[in-house]
Structure 1
Amino acid sequence: MDGNTIRRQIKSVILIPSQTIKKAYDWTIRWSKTKYAKVALFFLALSESSFFPIPPDVLLIAMTVADRYKWWIFALITTTGSVIGGIVGYYIGYTVYESVGKSIVDLYHLDKYFEFVQIRYEQNAFLAVFTAAFTPIPYKVFTIAGGLFQIPLPSLILGSILGRGGRFFIVALMIRIFGKKISDTLERYFDIFSLLFMALLIGGFILLKYL
């Protein structure tokens, strides 16, 4: 990935209005206050791995704040849904890329990364999936591209389990330890955290470039 590609990514992310992100965040948080919270968490994690834009971390945090002693259950639900969603994304790329997968990729303007992802897969498919699963890099790009480029499915599954599991269990454990302070801080400084997320997103692509 060259400097121009990274700059385009920064520009495309910055152009997303913070109000839009906040509305999506609030919509996701509302699910944590319903009796369907666990089901919503599972399907949010599943859909984010293949087509939905909102990461499941926000709902995972809200649910763990509400019941900190179930942190590992919520992390397990999120990991399971995300890995299954990754497999769904893989088969979208493998079987219906032209009719379905390409539309998803075009919707989020992710097509410019496919050559980059293909190179990473040729070097080390497992490491590429693990890095995308653990960091804010758009994981759905790697799941759909994994099917399109026909990487070994076990590499995608193992990389997803370790990457997504590591990420979600760390997030839930942090909430278990520090409690509502983290959630309150996130609400109070949402715009700052949005910018931090963008920086981590760009950093993840740069990191993957040099792995």
Structure 2
Amino acid sequence: MSTPEPRSASRPRRRGASRAIRLFRLRLIRAARGKWAVPALFIGSFIDSTVFPWPVALPLAAQMLRGRRHVFPAAAAAALGSVLGGLLVFVLARLAFEAIAPMVVDDSDAAARLAEVRARIETGGAVAVFAAMLTPVPVQLTSLAAGLAGVGGVWFALAITLGRGLRYFAMGLVLYAVGDQIVAGWLWLPRWGRWLVICLFAALFIWLIALSF
């Protein structure tokens, strides 16, 4: 009959395993929030402006609230991804509308919105493109409409760069100024309050995703 292991010997083992788990979780958090955060925002923004609109502003704000040094790299990554994605849709609309239309205009409502945006762009040109880039109108819809409306490539590139850059960097300036206060307010909340805020933002994120379909 084997003798039971002394309690004093089992405690260090449990502490060692718990410490190893904590270190592993910290490494995962650093990996997710470190070098991969900005590339992920670029990819997410590119996807948002091409085939799948989604609320990229929520993870963008979360990255910006990590600290002031994270604000402008995050804004630049999101703006660059959005601009490149919009340019891709614009070029495809000029060269192969029949191939790209099913990926962007998947129902009658989207087709009606496309016709509406196209009519505004045909009237206002690059200025209308710039204005649309500051609104919740999906980037790919505006880019597609601009390509169909015959907006010049240089003017479109200038309009989308200024529009998306202004939108994301304006957001960055606001969070650069008041981000510390927002974080302080978050830390002031009790645990149940933090979970309530997280649930509200998760519900908002899901609702915005649902609206994109």
TM-score normalised over the length of structure 1: 0.67
Residue by residue over 1:118-146, the C-alpha shift from the partner in whole angstroms, topping out at 9 and shown as x without a partner, is 22122112122112211111221110122
1:149 deviates by: 2.8
Counterpart pick for 2:201 among 183, 190, 197: 190
Match of 2:163 in 1: 163
Q: Which has the higher relative contact order, 1 or 2, with Cα contacts under 8 A spaced 6 or more apart?
A: 1
Q: Please tell me whether the aligned partners of residues 126 and 159 of structure 2 are also in contact (alpha carbons under 8 angstroms).
A: yes
**Quick check: which has more Rg, 1 or 2?**
2
Q: Please tell me whether the aligned partners of residues 46 and 82 of structure 1 are also in contact (alpha carbons under 8 angstroms).
A: yes
Residue 98 of structure 2 corresponds to residue 87 of structure 1: no
Mark the runs of 5 or more structure 1 residues left unpaired by the alignment. Answer: 1-30, 198-211
What does 1:68-147 correspond to in 2, within 5 Å? 68-106=68-106, 109-147=109-147
Match of 2:61 in 1: 61
Match of 1:18 in 2: none
1:157 deviates by: 1.2
> Alignment partner of 2:53: what SS?
coil
Cα distance in 2 for residues equivalent to 1:178 and 1:32: 24
CA gap 1:165/1:123 in 2 versus in 1, 3 angstroms: same
Residue by residue over 1:93-125, the C-alpha shift from the partner in whole angstroms, topping out at 9 and shown as x without a partner, is 122221223332116941112222222122112
Q: Please tell me whether the aligned partners of residues 115 and 145 of structure 2 are also in contact (alpha carbons under 8 angstroms).
A: no
Mark the runs of 5 or more structure 2 residues left unpaired by the alignment. Answer: 1-30, 187-193, 209-213
Provide the aligned C-alpha RMSD in A: 3.2
Match of 2:6 in 1: none
- Corresponding residue pairs, total: 169
Give the residue type in structure 2 aligned to 1:68. R
- What percentage of aligned pairs have identical amino acids? 27
Cα distance in 1 for residues equivalent to 2:133 and 2:122: 18
Match of 1:28 in 2: none
